[in-house]
Amino acid sequence: MFKSPIEWLKELIHDLVKEFADAAFSWLKIYMINPTDFEKYGFVGELYNWVFTISISIGIMFFIYNLFKVLIQQMGGYSQRGTSEILVKAITGTLLGIFAPFILKEVLLKLNNVWVEFIISKGINVDTLAKMITYPDTAGMALVITALVLAIMFLILAIQYIIRTGELMVLFLFSSLAAVTSTNEDMNIWNVWWREAVAVVFQQSFQITILWLIFNQIAGGKELKDYILACGLMVIVIKGPGFLRKFLYSTGTGKMAVGAAGGAGKMAIYKYAATKMIK
C-alpha cells in the first residue's frame, strides 16, 4: 500500500521515539529510578585507599610549609596568623580528610536516598515515565514531533545520570585530598568540593521530584498542550544540576561548613588547654 510522505515521516519519527525511549528508560532505571548505591563499585574503594595515603602525605607537607611560613613571618614582624591557628587547621583538615568519605556516603547520599525512595513509593518508575511519551495512532504530526522532543529530553536526562555517577566517584576518590587542602589559604579546594558534593548528590532528589510533578500535572493527557507542558517542565529538570550549583555558590554553603568545623576544632583545643592550666 502506497504511503504519503506525511505517513512515512510519522512512522520514521515513531521509530525514533521508540529507540530514544528504550535507551533513555533502560539507563534511567539503572542510574536514576533507584537509590544511589556505591557498594557495587568495589574498585573505587581500593583506589580511594591509595588516594587517601597520598592525601595524608600532602597534608603533612602542607602543615610543615604553613608552619615555616608563619615562623618566618613572625621573625619579620608581619605575621597575621599564629602557630595555634596552623595547628587547629591541621587537625581540622585531618579530621575532615578521615570523615569526608563518610559524610558523602553515609550522610549526604543516605539523606538523598530517603527522599528518592519516598518519591518512588508514590508511583514514579520507568513504566509511568514511559506513559508520558505514548500517543494514539491517530495523533497529528505536531503531537508526534513533540513526543520525539520529549523522548530526546529523557535521553539527555539519562546521559546526565551516567555523568553523575562518574562525578560521584571522583568526589569520593578526592574527598580526603580536598579536605587536607583546607589547611591552606591559597590552595583550599574544600569549599568547592563541598558545594559540588551537595549539588551532585541532591541532583537526584531535585530531578525526581520535578518528574513526579510533571507526571501528575499532565495526568495521562494526550493532547498537544499536555506534551508541550511536559517539554517545558522537562527543561527545568535538565537544568536542575546547574540551578543547584548556582544556588550553592551564591549562598556560600561551603564556607559555612568549613567555618563551623574550624570553630569546633578551636573550641576543643581551647578547652583542652584551659583544663591543663587549671590542673
- 104 closest CA partner among 176, 29, 7, 22: 176
Reported as a single tens digit per residue, the pLDDT across 132-144 is 666 666 667 777 7
Q: What is the pLDDT of residue 270?
A: 42
219: left (phi over 0), alpha (psi -120 to 50) or beta: left
Q: pLDDT tens digit string along 6-36?
A: 777 777 877 888 888 788 878 787 777 777 7
pLDDT of residue 90: 82
Containing 207, the helix (H) or strand (E) segment is helix 190-218
Read off the pLDDT of residues 165-204 as tens digits, 9 standing for 90 and up: 889 989 998 999 888 888 877 778 888 899 999 999 999 8
Residue 236, helix vs strand vs coil: helix
SS3 of 80, please? coil
Q: Tell me the three cell numbers of residue 210.
A: 520535578
Q: pTM for the full model?
A: 0.76
Report the candidate in 150, 144, 124, 158 with the shortest Cα–Cα distance to residue 25.
Answer: 158
Give the domain ranges of the chain: 10-271
Given this model, what pLDDT does residue 22 score? 81
pLDDT, tens digit (0-9, with 9 covering 90-100), for 223-257? 777 778 888 888 888 888 888 888 888 876 545 55
Block residue for cell numbers 555523568: 163
